[in-house]
Amino acid sequence: MAIIVNLDLVLVKRKMKLKELSEKVGVSTVNLSILKQGKVKAIRFSTLNSICLALNCQPGDILEYVE
């Protein structure tokens, strides 16, 4: 079982660069890149909320559970 991060797909659909998201959310590009690669151990709800607000999406659009 694993959590898959689909941030890259959502960014492509929204035609947004990681740097632009970083500026809107207030999180460093490095940290968002680590999230995008799925190498994070945790994410704060406030950060997830800000990402969803900036991308106009739901948390389930970014995070996916796969058995």
| CATH assignment at residue 27 | 1.10.260.40
- Look at residue 13 in the predicted model and tell me its pLDDT: 96
- Supply the range of the domain harboring residue 28: 2-66
Question: pLDDT per position in the chain (67 positions), as tens?
Answer: 699 999 999 999 999 999 999 999 999 999 999 999 989 999 999 999 999 999 999 999 999 999 9
Query: Does residue 61 contact residue 13 with C-beta atoms inside 8 Å?
Result: no
- Look at residue 17 in the predicted model and tell me its pLDDT: 97
Could you tell me which of 1, 16, 3, 27 has the C-alpha nearest to residue 55?
16
Look up the pTM and report it. Answer: 0.90
Query: Does residue 21 contact residue 51 with C-beta atoms inside 8 Å?
Result: yes
Number of domains composing the chain: 1
